[in-house]
Amino acid sequence: MRTSPYMNVPAFEMGQPARIPSEPGAVVAREQLREYLETQVGEDGCVRGQCESRVLESVLSLHLLQQLGLFSEVQGRIEDYLRAQCIDEREDPLHAVLRRHALGESTSQDAEAVRAYLAGFDHFTNRRKRMMFSVLMAELGLAPFDSVLTPEDFSNSGEEKYQSWVGVTVASLRILHAVGSGFPEWIRAEDVELLTATQSTEGAWEKHLLANILALLALRHFPRHREPLQHGIGLLISVQNADGGIPFITGMEIFCTATAGLALVEAGSRKSLLYRMADYLVGEQQPDGGWGYAEDVHQTDVDDTSYCLEFLRALDPMRHAHAIERAEAYLVDMQGADGGFPTFVAGSKSEVAMTAGALNALAPNREQHAALIARGIRYIITHQKADGSFERSWSLSESNAIFRALLAMRLLPESASGLRMTMELAEEYCLDYLRRSQNVDGGWGQRAGDVSDPISTSYALIALSHFDEPATLARGVRYLVRQQQADGRFLSIPDQAGPRPIAYNVPVLSEIFALLALDHVLAARPAVAMPAWKAMARQFPTLGLEAR
């Protein structure tokens, strides 16, 4: 039986084969895209995943250099980058306001626009995010420091556990607010020590430039720490992009290599290239069995570990058995009491997309993990929204969480048959959302009603290729094929979010997920010619028809 290129799960396990319409353009598009992506794999097996510049980090870096009176030429290049940005204020009021302010073009409505933007945060970290942007707006001079904030607002203590850069971010914000508000007694020696430690590496700490910039803004208030400050500023300048701007992160090598590897395995790339990619990833596995999002990032996470595990198993499970075993153990240990999986730290809040990713990665051993998978699927189902979607995670596209959840739900073990009717209803809600949100051009946007884009469409096609949705699927495939550039690439809008919900762009992800989508669509096509008796045998295995 053919397996899904993504989850190592039988593509039509539920018995109703999808009728995939003929789309000859999809075959040509996949071949051209495969060839393009292969050129993105370096000699070391890595897909670099460069991050584009972003207004937030660029404005903060400019502010830092202006406060210190350093590197006027670098400041000028940042200003040139900001002048070149065309921002839709309705879609991105934060960056529009920041850009105007940095260029001396602020308006009287800007402070209110920022307040309205912050009030719209709906993610579970919204309290911390609002505190963060409140301090940043005050630091930049866009608003007064918030007199309501207390030391407890800058505390990482409590039940919630955070990834490493949150601790650095919160310590930096505490110092900036304490200095700006006239409360020097709030500054803790351990916070200053933490920030100086982040500037003692050879590269940007954890590849997280936003956290590094905030640390440098705070450290400038401590003359005795001039050396780590100078070291950090030098590193910051060294990662300035060619367009003059500063990105959110310096790279996304692990995530891009793992997802590209998955796409290239099914697309038929040569084994020598795929083994090079796999060996690179194995070399980046952390002592706890997980992976971070980039080289030299020690904070591991469920998302990257799930993709790495899937790729290694899809390519050669025997060759990579030890790494696979360690990765599985890592994921098993991350499941929470509610059945869900968090992104970064065991015991923190679970998320649907992370839960689905972990279940899909563990699917080949689902007999062994039957109870774990059943608990995870129950978590996914109970967190579905009324419109059929789920909370958006590290992707801004509704269809990302939907495709991952749909494929995870198909793993329901026989021992959890009591969940089947509820699961099938949840599946139908997902499919109904995708049908309703498809645009007239055949594509999907990040949310229902948004303009179509290739990466959101790719996510939707991955989901639909596993269900009997021929008309919806055919229109989506035609849209995606039409978006391909002459060189094989796909250009899309920023899809990743960090800090959520602020968008950032790693362009190669558009090609990676477009190839994954075409892999899924074309893998489903053999089902068209499936004899009726074989489809019935899958639906009613007790009839014994598979013996024919």
Query: Is the pLDDT confidence value at 454 over 60?
Result: yes
Closest Cα to residue 234, out of 55, 56, 64?
A: 64
Question: Do 61 and 97 belong together in one domain?
Answer: yes
CATH number, domain of 348, equals 1.50.10.20
Q: Does some domain include residue 541? A: no
User: Please, what is the average pLDDT of the chain?
Assistant: 89
Query: Is the pLDDT confidence value at 10 over 50?
Result: no
Task: Record the tokens describing residue 7, joined without a space.
Answer: 């989850």
Summarised one tens digit per residue, pLDDT across range 165-202 is 999 999 999 999 999 999 999 999 999 999 999 997 77
The pLDDT assigned to 201 comes to: 72
Query: Is the pLDDT confidence value at 333 over 80?
Result: yes
The pLDDT assigned to 445 comes to: 98
Question: Do 191 and 60 belong together in one domain?
Answer: yes
For the entire predicted model, the pTM comes to 0.91
Query: Is the pLDDT confidence value at 302 over 90?
Result: yes
Question: Do 203 and 66 belong together in one domain?
Answer: yes
| Structural domain count, the chain | 2
Give me the mean pLDDT over the 266-274 stretch: 97
Helix, coil or strand: residue 38: helix
The pLDDT assigned to 119 comes to: 73
Give the C-alpha separation, 460 to 402, whole Å.
Answer: 8
Question: Taking phi first (over 0 means left), then psi (-120 to 50 degrees means alpha), and beta for anything else, what does residue 289 get?
Answer: left
Q: Does some domain include residue 8? A: no
Identify the weakest region by mean pLDDT among 56-70, 141-155, 241-255: 141-155
Q: Does some domain include residue 487? A: yes
CA torsion 132-137-138-140 (nearest 10°) is 120
Q: Does some domain include residue 11? A: no
Question: Do 67 and 42 belong together in one domain?
Answer: no
Question: Do 331 and 234 belong together in one domain?
Answer: no
CA torsion 426-303-480-453 (nearest 10°) is 90
How many CB atoms lie under 10 A from the CB of residue 88? 9
Query: Is the pLDDT confidence value at 300 over 90?
Result: yes
Q: Using a pLDDT cut of 90, give the percent of the chain over it.
A: 78
Question: Do 46 and 174 belong together in one domain?
Answer: no
Q: Which of 247, 272, 299 is the last residue of a domain?
A: 247
Helix, coil or strand: residue 395: strand
Identify the domain containing residue 297 by its residue range. Answer: 26-51+251-521
Summarised one tens digit per residue, pLDDT across range 375-402 is 999 999 999 999 999 999 999 999 999 9
User: Under a CB-based contact definition with an 8 Å cutoff, are residues 48 and 42 in contact?
Assistant: yes
Give counts: helices (H), strands (E), the chain. 22, 4
| Bridge partners, residue 291, by sequence | 301
How many Å separate Cα 135 from the centre of its chain?
26
How many CA atoms within 13 Å lie on the side-chain side of 163?
A: 19
Q: Which of 220, 247, 274 is the last residue of a domain?
A: 247
Identify the weakest region by mean pLDDT among 15-24, 58-67, 446-455: 15-24
Question: Do 47 and 62 belong together in one domain?
Answer: no
Question: Do 240 and 273 belong together in one domain?
Answer: no
Q: Does some domain include residue 540? A: no
Identify the weakest region by mean pLDDT among 160-164, 208-212, 419-423, 491-495: 160-164
Label each residue of 260-310 as H, E or C: HHHHHHHHCCCHHHHHHHHHHHHHHCCCCCCECCCCCCCCCEHHHHHHHHH
Summarised one tens digit per residue, pLDDT across range 493-510 is 999 999 988 999 999 999
Give the C-alpha separation, 441 to 16, whole Å.
Answer: 28
Q: Give the residue, 90 or 150, on which the prediction is more confident.
A: 150
Question: Do 44 and 107 belong together in one domain?
Answer: no
**Cα 415-421-427 angle, rounded to 5 deg:** 110
| Length of the chain counted residue by residue | 548
Identify the weakest region by mean pLDDT among 123-132, 301-310, 347-356: 123-132
Question: Do 182 and 269 belong together in one domain?
Answer: no
Q: Does some domain include residue 17? A: no
Q: Does some domain include residue 531? A: no
The pLDDT assigned to 190 comes to: 95
- Just list the catalytic residues: 303
The pLDDT assigned to 57 comes to: 98
Question: Do 178 and 295 belong together in one domain?
Answer: no
User: Under a CB-based contact definition with an 8 Å cutoff, are residues 407 and 463 in contact?
Assistant: yes
The pLDDT assigned to 129 comes to: 83
Q: Does some domain include residue 317? A: yes
Query: Is the pLDDT confidence value at 535 over 80?
Result: no
Q: Which of 247, 273, 303 is the last residue of a domain?
A: 247
The pLDDT assigned to 162 comes to: 82
Question: Do 302 and 203 belong together in one domain?
Answer: no
The pLDDT assigned to 157 comes to: 56
Summarised one tens digit per residue, pLDDT across range 79-133 is 999 999 998 887 888 999 999 999 999 888 887 887 787 777 666 667 788 899 8
DSSP 205-230: GGGBHHHHHHHHHHHTT-GGGHHHHH
First to last CA, the chain: 15
Task: Record the tokens describing residue 70, joined without a space.
Answer: 């350093």
